[in-house]
Amino acid sequence: MSEERRAQVLELIRQRGFAALTDLAQELNVSESTIRRDLDFLEEAGGAQRTHGGAFYTGPTPHLPHFRQRQYMQSEKKRQVAAAAAALVEDGDVVLLDGGSTTFELARLLVGRPVQVITNSLPVANLFTSSDGGDLILLGGYVHLRTGVTLGPYANEMLRSLNVRRAFISVAGITERGYFNSNLLLVETEQAMQCAAEETIVLADSTKFGHQSLALLCELGKIDHLVVDSGIGEDWRDRMKQAGVKLTIAELPQGNNGDQTTTIQKCD
C-alpha cells in the first residue's frame, strides 16, 4: 500500500510540477504526517524536493530513457560533485547549466534559490518551471531526443547574445589532451557557453579521468575551475594545478553517527 501511495504522490507532483502538502493529503485521503514521510522517501530517492508547504518534482523527464540511464550511473559521486558546485553559486548569480546528468543534480540543489538559470536542457528546465525562487531562460535549437538538450546553430547564436557569471558543464571524458564529449554539435554549443561566461566550471566524477570521447571540447587549461569527487588521483590533482585550473574536491567522510555529509576541499 505504501509503495502504491508513493507512486500516486510522485505522479501528482510530476503532473503539476509542485504539489501542496495539504492537497496531497486530501486527494489521497491520508494524514499530512503520512504525506511528509512519503515526501521524505521520494526526496531520498531523487524524485521530489521538499519545500515549504509541499514538494517540487525533480525526477527525470519520462521520455528520455538515455538521460535516465546516465543519471543513475555513479549517482553518489555525482551528488557529491553537485553539492560542492552548489556552494560556489551565490544568490543573484546568472548561471548557465548544460544538459549533463551531473549538472542536473546541481540544478536540483538550485531550485527555489534566487538565481537566474539559463540552460539548453529540457530536464533541467522542467525543474524550474514551477519554482518562483528565480528566473529561467531556455535556449532554443535542435533538440537531441536521446538526452533532451538543445544544440546547433540556433542555440549557439542565442548564446552569443548572453552574458553569464558562471557556466557549469559536464564532460564524458578527461585525458592529457583535454575535456571530451560524445556529440560534435553538443561540443560546439558548450564552446559557445564558455564564450558567454566569466567563469567556466567543469563538473566531473572521478571515473571520467583517463578516458576520451568523440569530440574534444578544449585543452585542460582552457577552463577556470574543476569540481570532482574524492576519487581523483594525486597525479591528476597535480596535473590540474600545473594547468592553472582551480580544483574543488568534494569529500564524503563518514560521520560519527554513520550519516554521510559532503565537505569541500579546495586546492589552490
> What ranges do the domains of the chain cover?
2-57, 65-267
> Which fold, 2-57?
Arc Repressor Mutant, subunit A (1.10.10)
Read off the C-alpha cell for 189: 554549443
Q: pLDDT: is 45 or 208 the higher one?
A: 208
Question: If you compute the radius of gyration of the chain from its CA atoms, what whole number of angstroms results?
Answer: 19
Quick: pLDDT tens for 57-72: 776 655 565 565 565 5
Share of the chain above pLDDT 90, in %: 59
pTM of the model: 0.74
Give the architecture-level CATH label for domain 65-267: 3-Layer(aba) Sandwich (3.40)
Distance, CA of 16 to CA of 219 (rounded, Å)? 43
Interatomic CA distance for residues 212 and 68, integer angstroms: 22
DSSP calls for 149-189:
EEESHHHHHHHHT--EEEEEEE-SEEETTEEEES-HHHHHH
The number of C-alpha atoms within 13 Å of 255 and in the hemisphere containing its C-beta is 7
More confident residue, 241 or 79: 241
Query: Which residues face 180 on adjacent strands?
Result: 173, 216
| Confidence (pLDDT) at 254 | 47
Name the pairing type of β-strands 173-175 and 246-251. unpaired
pLDDT band at 34 (very low <50, low <70, confident <90, very high): very high
